[in-house]
Amino acid sequence: MNQNPYYGSGFYQPSGTPVPASGQNGYYAQQPAQQSTQAVQGAQAAQAAQAAQAAQAQFAMASGQLPLEQSYIENILRLNKGKQATVFMTYERNSSLGTQSYTGIIEAAGRDHVIISDPESGKRYLLLMIYLDYVEFPGEINYLPQGQAATYPPRR
């Protein structure tokens, strides 16, 4: 007897094992081996495509560029690394912090955080994007990598 709780339930379907046949309640049919081979080949093709996209993104990031149509806040902050900025944050209503601003040099930015350093005090702040209201720069900001025009796909 198989110990897998999903066996025969339609969730566990390795090649050549019984699976529910359509239209036959409670009866099982043999899964064709060709179907599982096609599924494996399709999964391998999808993995290869994802690896190619990741390699392109890594190359673009290594060369100081960002992939097109990615004007997310963290990418804009990365493009302005080394510039002075004031980051405005609002914390939860019940917090004693309320609204605060932090002025410093942008050191790094990720999907959920930004790191700035205050050259006067030597402090570094790791700020969470969830509390971010807006960012102020005293001068011009880099929005897109040099030489790249903004091309966005149509919304669906």
Q: How do the domains of the chain map onto residue ranges?
A: 18-62, 73-136
**C-alpha to C-alpha distances, 113 to 3, 109, 123, 129, 131, nearest whole angstrom:** 45, 6, 16, 5, 10
Sign of CA dihedral 129, 133, 136, 142: positive
Neighbours of 38 (CB within 10 A): 11
Q: What is the pTM of this model?
A: 0.50
- So what's the pLDDT on residue 86? 97
Q: What is the mean pLDDT of residues 3-15?
A: 53
pLDDT, one tens digit per residue, over 39-58 is 667 677 777 777 766 666 66
CATH for 73-136 is 2.30.30.100
Residue keyed to tokens 């903004």: 150
Amino acid at 69: E
- Please give the backbone phi and psi of residue 103, each rounded to the nearest 5 degrees, phi first: -110, 135
Residue (of 140, 107, 110, 100) closest to 122 by Cα position: 107
For residue 86, the surrounding DSSP H or E stretch is strand 84-90
CA atoms of 111 and 81, how far apart (whole Å): 15
Burial of residue 145, with CB atoms counted within 10 A of its CB: 0-12 exposed, 13-18 middle, 19 or more buried: middle
pLDDT, one tens digit per residue, over 95-147 is 788 899 999 999 999 999 999 999 999 999 999 999 999 999 999 999 876 55
